[in-house]
Structure 1
Amino acid sequence: MLELLHIENIAVIEQADIQFRPGFNALTGETGAGKSIVIDALGAVLGGRTSRDLIRTGSKRAVVSAEFSGVEADLPGLAQCGGSLDEEGLLILQRELDADGKNLCRVNGRPVTVAQLRALGAELLNIHGQHDGQQLLDEERHGAYLDTFGRLDGALGEYRAAYGSMAELRRKMDALRMDEAEKARKVDSLTFQIQELERAELRPGEEEELLERRDLLRNGEKYLSAVQGADGCLNGDDETGGAVSLIQEAANSLAHVKGRNGRLEEIWNRLEQLRCEAYDLADSVRDMLGEFDFSPEELDAVENRADQLYRLKKKYGSTVEDMLTFLDRSRRELDEIETADDTLARLAGQLSAAEKKTVVVGAALTKARKSAAEELEKRILKELADLDMGRVRFSIEFTPGEPGPDGCDAIRFLMSANAGEDLKPIARIASGGELARIMLALKNVLAEQEQIGTLVFDEVDTGVSGRAAQKVAEKLAQVSRHKQVLCVTHLPQLAAMADVHFSVEKGERGGRTFTEVLQLDRRRRMEELARITGGSKVTDALLQSAGELLDGAEAYRGKL
């Protein structure tokens, strides 16, 4: 259950703390006062999409936090983000929105990603928006509603796995099928590419070695002169000794006295170490002189090879390794084309088996769906009867078809709003008010299949009035006996039926617009209901009617 919603700098709300209660919570207010902003803030803290425009003008950051109680400790979303309940069993979600577009999300103080927050939020609270009824017009969604009600994830997953295997086999076979002219062109192209790359005799790491050798050859005289100079200094020449011999002479000079003085012995030891290092360096320099044995012909050969690799890279890959990968892939593709007939025959056998399995699994899914459909029809009709739509006929139609990604049949909801009328697609006959009530009925039925503790209805009364509005209010009151209900409404019947009534009020202070969310006592509720009913002019008669509306609602709730 949602206990507390804290909002800072969201649109016109500078700061608000809304303490929700168990049961039916209603929010009312003038159009534009900020009711939907409360829902937007709630959606944000549950990981919904947000915009920097949501941040209050002049503020660098917006913060929303939501405190939930009665949460199951083993929620999958809680485990996925590594979170846990606090010592009091509470779960606090928080989201900070920065003006630079950054987000910071936390679950009980632990940083999480927006995706993790969204997954967890979906297990805590369900928001039914004012336009959700329009989703019923999209017949592609009807099957998903039925699968959710029937808890057919397992059967649907098994079918999709079978269909996916079948579709992959078809894709492979389509890729192998080609006419003889196209096949000949493809074989010629692949053969040429393979032969060109094979003639190049590529090997991994060759290009790096080649470029290093080319650099050495291009600057050979400069390198040779430098190394010769170093060799002369270390090894000397016919006239002078080098550094190695001079260090050796220094060590020999101290050799006969080093045992008589500790400091002299230390110097002698260091000279010996230096002589050994100098000797190794002199050998390395001498070896390098031997490596500088090259000719103009070698430079030409290296240049030609580098140019060949450059031209091949433009056609087959940015590195030698990429070109070798291309070669392997081309060989496999050529082999597949040359053996395509055998492969097609083998795949055809596999496809036949996959198609049979898909049909069998699809039939099992259809059977499970039809069983769930019978129960869903009964549940929806019962809900609609409670919503003053007792004469409505509701049916779920199955139309067999070819196997598709979601099954072997098309599913759509049909209804007849008036006695004697044939069942027809909802999109063709349902009014706005009927759509709203059918969607409410569907949401209520689906909510019973979930462990979600809080349902939010954002102006679900759109297109509903009169006796139908009273029935919607009674239905929400019934739902609120086993789940917490939050409802943004413009109807006095719904507001009066609430256990707790909040008013969203907009004002001006210091040249800035601000919105407050206030919990109303009975007197203020009467005034708010009178305003909703009669507009800006609140009369004694309207106040008396509002009081009677509250009394009637309280009496109805007492019977639940």
Structure 2
Amino acid sequence: MLSSLKIENVAVIEKAQAQFTAGLNVLTGETGAGKSILIDSINAILGNRTSRDLVRTGAAKACIWATFTDLSPRTRALLEEAGYEAEDELLLYREISAEGKGGCRINGMPATAAVLREIGGSLINIHGQHDSQSLTNPARHLALLDTFAQDQAQLEEYQTLYRRLIRVKRQMDALEMDETEKQRRIEVLQFQLQEIEEARLQPGEEEQLQARRRVLSHAQTIAQQLSAAHAALSGDDDAAGAADGLGAACGAMEQAAALDPDLQSLAEKLNEYYYGVRDLAEELAQRLESTDAEPGELDRIEERLDLIYRLRQKYGTDLEGVLAFADKARTELETIQTSQQQLEELAVQKQQLYQQAKQAAEMLTKARLAAFDALQGQLVEALTFLNMPGIRFVLQHSRGPLALAGQDSVEFYISANAGEDPKPLARIASGGELSRIMLALKSALADKDDIPTVIYDEIDTGVSGLAAGRIGEKLRQTSRGRQVLCITHTAQIAALADTHLLIAKQVEGSRTYTQIHPLDEQGRVEVLARIISGDHVTELSLANAREMLQQRRS
């Protein structure tokens, strides 16, 4: 359960701390005092989405701490799964900077908001001010019924089959086309493949052709330079070349080495240079002969490059893209040509999946209808207690085509008065009736989970008198099995609290400050009297407040 909450620099709250107990905890205060800020802070500490607007004006960051005790087995398992030690006490921390950045910690260790959100979902369930109005949306009714039915495993099994069925249907849709379209597509693919295959393209061919074209385009210049290099090495009619000079040098060094053996190594090295230059001159002569291009070779290269360019313009950005397009077209052509056989196989698979999904949907329907029978009994009993006697709560149910949530279309109908036919909630339920219906639903659903703390934000909207007192008694009953926090403006509910906290706002200078005060017996009497009579607290209202507290104790 939530044992304490500490807040710093959150909206109008500069610094505040609240201690909570087991049982029913009630928070009261004037409209605008900051009760919604408290809910926003709890939402933030549970990892839910928030914004920098939560940071108090002028502060660098907002900080929120929450301490939880008596952790449930589910919370402990989630902590261990996330890599945190499941201790007797859990401390969550979250900060939001004025720049919009933030950080989270679990028992002092860094955490992500996603992990905080997953763990927080096992700690607190918050019923907001507008949740009651959401009951008027029939789209929510199926989810509420599934929560009560606890049919998640059945629903997931059905959805797995349904998704497989949809996948097969899409494959069939992709294969199914009329014969005219099929023939047209076959002809297009065959033409494209023929055009690419006749070109006999090779990977890297375009680069090789471009390199050869560059050589042929400068063949004359290359030949001149090769000839000059060859002449410099081998000589010509007018002058001796480097090879001749090295030959003479070799003869001289051989004679010198015959007289001085120490010169033998130099003579051998010079001899190596001589033969190396001769070999190089021979290689240059061979390259010079090869520079002569075959007649028409450059034209053939230009034609080939032009063909590759046109194919690239049609089928890919480069040669590899053209070849990849051909592979894809070949696969598609084969698929179309064998589509009839695939369609027959998929049709058999589709029928089998449909039967399996239909059977799973039917089992899901039975589970939902059985759950509503049980839910109906609990709701009628709870709503009768909540001063809605004679209420009838029925389920409008119909089977439709298979969809992601199953085959069921459901909507809750009620008859709030004897002799009236049940009608949709949106048409006949008042705000006060919706609040009581939501409380009855939440109470029924609470028995289906192990979340130790539930928060009701103004569940008493639109009710007063006897109905408000019954809501308080229902909340008190609920708090015997779990911790309940309730924000209320109703004295009947506040009087039944085990712990009463007052949220008060005050203005100092040009700044607004909100504080949370735990109330003792006398403080509760005074606050209840103000709720009863407003600013003009009388002895009678004080006496009424004392009597309400006395009735709670008895």
TM-score normalised to structure 2 length: 0.82
**Residue 392 of structure 2: aligned partner:** 393
Does 2:20 align with 1:7?
A: no
Distance 2:222 2:535 in 1: 96
Structure 2 SS opposite 1:490:
coil
Q: How many residues align?
A: 521
**Residue 79 of structure 2: aligned partner:** 78
**Residue 435 of structure 1: aligned partner:** 434
**Residue 470 of structure 1: aligned partner:** 469
Distance 2:388 2:430 in 1: 12
Contact 1:84 1:91 in 2 (8 A): no
Contact 1:391 1:418 in 2 (8 A): yes
Distance 1:376 1:422 in 2: 20
Distance 2:512 2:387 in 1: 41
Q: Summarize deviations over 1:462-491 as a string: whole Å, max 9, x none.
A: 112111111110111111111111111111
* CA shift for structure 1 position 531: 1.9
Structure 1 residues 475 and 181: alpha-carbon distance in aligned structure 2, compared to 1, 3 A threshold: same
Does 2:142 align with 1:131?
A: no
Does 2:373 align with 1:374?
A: yes
Structure 1 SS opposite 2:26:
strand
Contact 1:14 1:56 in 2 (8 A): yes
Contact 2:458 2:488 in 1 (8 A): yes
Structure 1 residues 394 and 74: alpha-carbon distance in aligned structure 2, compared to 1, 3 A threshold: closer
Q: Summarize deviations over 1:423-442 as a string: whole Å, max 9, x none.
A: 22222221111111111111
Does 2:58 align with 1:49?
A: no
Contact 1:73 1:84 in 2 (8 A): no
Is the deviation greater in 57-66 or in 26-35?
A: 57-66
Distance 2:379 2:222 in 1: 89
Counting only pairs closer than 5 Å after superposition, residues 67-466 of structure 1 correspond to structure 2 as 67-72=67-72, 75=75, 76-86=77-87, 89-199=88-198, 201=200, 237-238=242-243, 316-317=315-316, 323-466=322-465
* CA shift for structure 1 position 18: 1.4
TM-score normalised to structure 1 length: 0.81
- The one-letter code of the counterpart of 1:501 is H
* CA shift for structure 1 position 132: 0.5
Contact 1:29 1:504 in 2 (8 A): yes
**Residue 65 of structure 1: aligned partner:** 65
* CA shift for structure 1 position 224: 12
Is the deviation greater in 521-530 or in 498-507?
A: 521-530
Distance 1:543 1:208 in 2: 97
* CA shift for structure 1 position 142: 1.4
* CA shift for structure 1 position 154: 1.3
Q: Summarize deviations over 1:218-245 as a string: whole Å, max 9, x none.
A: 99999999999999xxxx954888xxx9
**Residue 485 of structure 1: aligned partner:** 484
Distance 1:191 1:113 in 2: 55
**Residue 18 of structure 2: aligned partner:** 18
Distance 1:320 1:26 in 2: 74
Structure 1 residues 497 and 341: alpha-carbon distance in aligned structure 2, compared to 1, 3 A threshold: same
Distance 2:4 2:146 in 1: 33
**Residue 532 of structure 1: aligned partner:** 531
Counting only pairs closer than 5 Å after superposition, residues 505-516 of structure 1 correspond to structure 2 as 505-516=504-515
Distance 1:14 1:126 in 2: 26
Structure 1 residues 447 and 187: alpha-carbon distance in aligned structure 2, compared to 1, 3 A threshold: same
* CA shift for structure 1 position 100: 2.5
**Residue 554 of structure 1: aligned partner:** 553
Structure 1 SS opposite 2:513:
strand
Larger radius of gyration: 2
Structure 1 residues 179 and 33: alpha-carbon distance in aligned structure 2, compared to 1, 3 A threshold: same
Q: Summarize deviations over 1:152-188 as a string: whole Å, max 9, x none.
A: 1111111112222222222222222222332233223
Contact 1:365 1:407 in 2 (8 A): yes
* CA shift for structure 1 position 122: 0.8
Distance 2:229 2:533 in 1: 104
Q: Summarize deviations over 1:6-50 as a string: whole Å, max 9, x none.
A: 212211111222111111111111111110011011101111111
Structure 1 residues 529 and 335: alpha-carbon distance in aligned structure 2, compared to 1, 3 A threshold: same
Q: Summarize deviations over 1:347-397 as a string: whole Å, max 9, x none.
A: 222222222222212111111222212111112222212222232111223
Distance 1:492 1:226 in 2: 107
Is there any run of 5+ residues in structure 2 with no aligned partner, and where? 231-240, 251-256, 263-268
Is there any run of 5+ residues in structure 1 with no aligned partner, and where? 246-251, 258-271, 556-560
Structure 2 SS opposite 1:463:
coil
Contact 1:210 1:306 in 2 (8 A): yes
RMSD: 4.0
Structure 1 SS opposite 2:387:
coil
Distance 1:65 1:224 in 2: 85
**Residue 31 of structure 1: aligned partner:** 31
- The one-letter code of the counterpart of 1:409 is D
Structure 1 residues 18 and 230: alpha-carbon distance in aligned structure 2, compared to 1, 3 A threshold: farther
Structure 1 residues 121 and 198: alpha-carbon distance in aligned structure 2, compared to 1, 3 A threshold: farther
- The one-letter code of the counterpart of 2:146 is D
Distance 1:465 1:437 in 2: 11
Contact 2:74 2:122 in 1 (8 A): no
Structure 1 residues 348 and 506: alpha-carbon distance in aligned structure 2, compared to 1, 3 A threshold: same
* CA shift for structure 1 position 452: 0.5
- The one-letter code of the counterpart of 1:447 is A
Structure 1 SS opposite 2:485:
strand
Structure 1 SS opposite 2:83:
coil
Distance 1:211 1:96 in 2: 62
Distance 2:100 2:196 in 1: 50
